[in-house]
Structure 1
């Protein structure tokens, strides 16, 4: 080999090395097990290619080759949506009177949403939506598989205003132009003073590129802790949903285990409901089948529960631009919820029927009326107690008089028991005759108390659900919507907790005082008289972790009740009652037993005979 041949071979070797260096394919990406991981790899490749800066020692031919490979990867992953699979993330911040919101051009998504009028229990901004702890997907079926159109890059149209006040209504149109007349449009409509966010999605210009008859919406969310009491917050968080035929249902608030519901019925709204705040998706055109899941297992104390919503939207509706929705991101305020959607106020737990009716039509209306004129919620609670006690005073009076009559009759009732010894049937029959002759109904003292029970239990639901009390202080309580701890215990007492609530202690003491006062006119004797003192102690354990407003309400109610009883006792003359009863006894001496009492006596007789027959066996 001469010198020229050697030189030629060297030059050819250099050219071959250069060719494979500049024009050879880079290492192929490994195939992924699912679409999600594949998307991650594509995005990573894209970021590497776009981060190349001018001035770096990079060949234009190499960049073209990489871009060509990425385009092929995007096309195989996104199909007809590939032209919008590359772009730039841009944040658009919008501020209204009640929310601060951040849109992201990637996915046309809401990346962050803050409620301006509220703070967390530790006074941090209350963020109801954040991309770090929730994710939304809109999955469209295509020939290349399911494509999440929330991974596409959009352009905001028309540069709308980003600072809204009352009276303003602005629509933000995010468009992904795919070419060939095909577009994906996601639109949001905001008002200056509303917690509702209008939402429309449409696919325009598509012919046969899309498969199936639905779009799948996936909304996964870790529900953030906003209140001081983690346990209470966890047991008041769930997913609720509404169907026009069956009404409102949920996955079970109190359960922290995994709860799953697969629905074959269309739903009009679905919501992540927490104690004081709700995030929801609402539509007039029902969403199709749905799968809902919640769990509190294995989640950090930063969150109360994890939830997953998977539902379907009709594809034809999206193509025809009929898929109109609205989101609700806001407080569980009865006035606001009631105007948002059918039965949406049921995201506020006001108790079972008829307790919920008392709350909806009586307590809430009175409370809202007082709010207009009084700023201090402790004073509002005191006035609320006074109004309710005034309205119920006739029932309280009748109940107290009935107890006084029973006390006057007690010596005669004891004589009848001694007369018949152990024969309870004859004793009870003669006691009933005595009641009839003197004109006393032994149940009349219970009926007024039973009529007051719906209001008593209505408060049990109203105060823990009232967002108006959240963050409001009164006396030593810094927040009336949670317990008023005056001391933390170094240990946890079962059913009581690891803290001491002063309002609960005072409420218990006042209840014991009321029980003692009622015992002065009650005919109850023996062990039952001591048992009635156990109920206040039980309530002390139950209410220790309940809102301070509830214990304060019961405290004031007890003090007013004690005052009422003292006043009524002075008004009632037991000697006069005894005289009236004796006159009734003489007047009704020959009065026949009523049909009701005859039936009652027969029932008692049958019960006694049944008991005797069992003893013989």
Structure 2
């Protein structure tokens, strides 16, 4: 009978509805002040008795927000431009004003086409997406922040509010989700926040971008986790513990949501379409929000839309800077406490990043020069001993254990530690490897040119090949070629004072070729650093060679041999000698 009455009413007595207003996009630069400005843009909800029965059946208590008009509101500060939509009361678009994408326009980190937010509640068996409802806009200014609020009055003291706080600088956006009077209307204890993002390709090298894009999260127990960055297949993880924050990470930019308290659990996934170069990866994030927090005015969160810059992210929230992967210890320590501070000091003085890289090489090589000298001196000692070592090998060629024992005896007599040349190199390796993590992640190098390299954060192609070479690519990087040639030159120079023979000697020349394939598609800054480091190393060796007299070394070793009986063995030599004796005993 009610259905018949409603049908008759709408057929014969319904009032003429006013024509819908044209959707207006309001774009303005907001300068907050202490004064308060209030705007309202929405026709009040119809009384319950006049609501469409179908909408009531579909949306239940939320039916008042099922109809409306989508209007946009844009707020800018010094660094970002954020557009909000009254349909959903959500962020619609985010533009980073100080960064350009591959097409030369400002980076659009979030767009209506690439991004989707859902806030899903369950009410008496109905699944409602709050981001599909229509809200009334209110704008206020509080201190140095602009407050954007989207309210939905559901009647009978019930309401939903999305409140955003945009400061006049920075990349953080405060967000509150507030429920009022809905304790009995929401029949599940958790509200689902779903975020689907088709990461827009911002860099010219989409492959490198895909290798550095993923979803990260940080738990309240202090664990930082991530999906595999390099994966090109579907990756998924179900998170059963409470989460502090989750980040959709691209190579140089981040989109994140952070809880003041926590999300109770979550699910994340990534996928790749190799045939779509306009999308880096597809990311999906689902987080559980406690309904009790939203009902008690404790639904306090914030978004971060901005660069993956160590200096900025370290101030956002606890361990948020881990989104910038700087390697494992000890490479992490080198990057965090040496390279980044050194780079910052030079960056404040110079505006040419090629010169900054050259100066970094010179400083590091100067600091490590004592180790380089000790390593070269050790190789010179081994070269002087080579005739006697060859004689031992020839004498005990069939008995490897006996030959090793005699060699160790000779080392002890002349006072030479056979691995003393390796130890200095071992100390230098963390610094060399730390560059492998530092340069590909440095947003400061993005778009910066030097010599023929138009972008130091990408490869410096001087020739595009008509075909792709497996493991090499379809281009030729000149800095990588120069690095390879200089590495071969250094290897040849070191072989002149090395005792290495046989296959290992040839392998030393093979390694630079391997790295030529590996680094061909890496940032030009990295291969340029290695090239300059090689040139400085070559010069160091030439200089050290002038001060190392092999005849003098021979005399010192002979003198040590004469006094061998009176010299105490080092702990290392004693351990080696004991090991040799044990080996011979076991053999017998």
What's the TM-score once normalised by structure 2's chain length? 0.90
* 2:114 is the counterpart of 1:133: yes
Residue 582 of structure 1, aligned match among 550, 554, 558: 558
Cα separation, 2, equivalents of 1:147 and 1:127: 29
Structure showing greater relative contact order (alpha-carbon pairs closer than 8 Å, 6 or more residues apart): 2
Cα separation, 2, equivalents of 1:92 and 1:159: 13
* 2:504 is the counterpart of 1:528: yes
Corresponding position of 1:380: 356
Task: Give the number of the structure whose residues are more often helix, by fraction.
Answer: 1
Q: How many residues align?
A: 554
CA contact (8 A) 1:243 1:268 kept: yes
Q: How does 1:421-570 map to 2 (within 5 A)?
A: 421-570=397-546
CA contact (8 A) 1:79 1:144 kept: no
Cα separation, 2, equivalents of 1:485 and 1:594: 53
- Matched residue of 2:314: which SS? helix
- Could you tell me which runs of 5 or more consecutive residues in structure 1 were left unpaired when the two chains were aligned: 1-21, 27-47, 54-66, 162-166
Residue 321 of structure 2, aligned match among 334, 341, 345: 345
* 2:310 is the counterpart of 1:329: no
CA contact (8 A) 1:355 1:458 kept: yes
What is the Cα deviation at residue 410 of structure 1? 0.9
Corresponding position of 1:95: 76
* 2:219 is the counterpart of 1:243: yes
Corresponding position of 1:32: none
Q: For 1:13-69, what per-residue CA distance to the aligned partner results, in whole angstroms no more than 9, with x for missing partners?
A: xxxxxxxxx95989xxxxxxxxxxxxxxxxxxxxx987689xxxxxxxxxxxxx989
Cα separation, 1, equivalents of 2:347 and 2:460: 22
Corresponding position of 2:25: none
Q: Go from structure 1 to structure 2 and tell me whether the alpha carbon gap of 1:50 and 1:321 turns closer, same or farther (over 3 Å shift).
A: same
CA contact (8 A) 2:172 2:303 kept: yes
What is the Cα deviation at residue 246 of structure 1? 4.3
Q: Go from structure 1 to structure 2 and tell me whether the alpha carbon gap of 1:593 and 1:389 turns closer, same or farther (over 3 Å shift).
A: closer
Q: For 1:46-99, what per-residue CA distance to the aligned partner results, in whole angstroms no more than 9, with x for missing partners?
A: xx987689xxxxxxxxxxxxx989621211111111112221111111111101
RMSD: 2.4
- Matched residue of 2:188: which SS? strand
Q: For 1:275-298, what per-residue CA distance to the aligned partner results, in whole angstroms no more than 9, with x for missing partners?
A: 111100001211011111111147
* 2:279 is the counterpart of 1:303: yes
Cα separation, 1, equivalents of 2:455 and 2:169: 26
Corresponding position of 2:57: 76
Q: For 1:352-387, what per-residue CA distance to the aligned partner results, in whole angstroms no more than 9, with x for missing partners?
A: 122111111111111111111110100110011111
Cα separation, 1, equivalents of 2:147 and 2:239: 33
What is the Cα deviation at residue 132 of structure 1? 0.7
CA contact (8 A) 1:299 1:305 kept: no
Residue 192 of structure 1, aligned match among 168, 171, 190: 168
What is the Cα deviation at residue 589 of structure 1? 3.8
Residue 114 of structure 1, aligned match among 81, 91, 95: 95
* 2:123 is the counterpart of 1:147: no
Cα separation, 1, equivalents of 2:545 and 2:156: 89
- Could you tell me which runs of 5 or more consecutive residues in structure 2 were left unpaired when the two chains were aligned: 1-6, 22-47
What's the TM-score once normalised by structure 1's chain length? 0.86
Q: How does 1:395-434 map to 2 (within 5 A)?
A: 395-434=371-410
Cα separation, 1, equivalents of 2:584 and 2:446: 56
CA contact (8 A) 2:60 2:123 kept: yes
CA contact (8 A) 1:258 1:297 kept: no
Larger radius of gyration: 1
